[in-house]
Amino acid sequence: MKRPNVFWQDKGRVSSNKYVCGYCGNFVASENGYFAEVYPHAIDPTTDKREYILICHYCSRPTYFDIDGNQIPGPIYGNSVFDVPEKVETLYNEARNCISCNAYTASVLCSRKLLMNIAVSKGAEEGIRFIDYVSFLSDKNYIPPDGKDWVDHIRKKGNEATHEISIMKKEDAEELIIFIEMLLKFIYQFPASIKRKTNVSTPEQHP
């Protein structure tokens, strides 16, 4: 829908705006970008408002802010996890990125699929039932103590998103990412970190 009362200005310096870049994850205070005069404002017709497209000075990508301060794309939810298989990392980041663009149902589906990929990366057969992937992770002790309820929670939410006419909420997607992040660190990152520490060569000792 065209908005006739939005007038974008040429690129230049704008008033400094602090935000977390939705692409690279850095906290920035950008003064480089575009702004648009928007009037009359829907809430206060006597006041002109501005929208912004700010350029991140780390990755040079644009972020849009509407007159109410909503950021698109929003900050990437959760934290990066290291030493994970490429497919698992790709899917984990996809689930995080879905939250940044308000695609919460898609994020929940990614979290469900992540459990399947984690299990396969640890030796489970492909093409088995989802509950069998969960059982594999549990039987092989890849799920930490008291974590089975969380895995079952992911299973139920994933089933809702897959088989029911149900729209997931922001909190549904975020809580699954929090658990998945912890699970990835427990299964991949922490063991790899310890292995590197124990494999560090020590100075040769002479009698």
**CATH label of the domain that carries residue 154:** 1.20.120
Inside any domain, residue 121: yes
The alpha carbon torsion through 115, 117, 119, 124 (nearest 10 deg) reads: 140
Residue 80 lies inside a defined structural domain of this protein:
no
CB 104 within 8 Å of CB 122: no
Residues 68 and 90 both lie in one domain: no
What is the three-class DSSP state of 155? Answer: helix
Supply the pLDDT for residue 190: 92
* Residue 127 forms part of a structural domain: yes
Residues 159 and 115: their CA atoms lie apart, in Å, by: 13
Q: What is the pLDDT of residue 207?
A: 43
- Is the same domain home to 130 and 161? yes
Q: CA-CA distance, 155 to 111, in Å (whole number)? A: 9
pLDDT given for residue 119 in this prediction:
92
Please state whether 128 falls in left (phi above 0), alpha (psi between -120 and 50) or beta. Answer: beta
pLDDT number for residue 44: 56
C-alpha–C-alpha distance, residues 170 and 159, integer Å: 17
Does some domain include residue 201? no
Q: Are residues 41 and 91 in the same domain?
A: no
pTM: 0.72
Query: What pLDDT, on a 0 to 100 scale, did the predictor assign at position 5?
Result: 73
According to DSSP, the residues that pair with 134 across neighbouring strands are: none
Identify the domain containing residue 180 by its residue range. 86-188
Residues 96 and 52 in one domain: no
Kindly list the averaged pLDDT for each block of 10 residues, start to end, along the chain of length 207: 66 79 87 79 59 89 88 87 94 92 89 91 91 86 78 72 71 89 92 84 46
In a domain, 197, yes or no: no
- Picking from 37, 72, 107, the residue at the C-terminal end of a domain is 72
Number of domains in the chain: 2
Domain termination site, one of 15, 50, 72: 72
Examine the domain organization and report whether 94 and 149 are in the same domain. Answer: yes
Q: Are residues 42 and 103 in the same domain?
A: no
Answer yes or no: do 34 and 104 share one domain: no
Task: Find the Cα–Cα–Cα–Cα dihedral 71, 77, 82, 87, rounded to 10°.
Answer: -90
Predicted pLDDT of residue 205? 46
Asked if the structure places residue 34 within a domain, the reply is yes
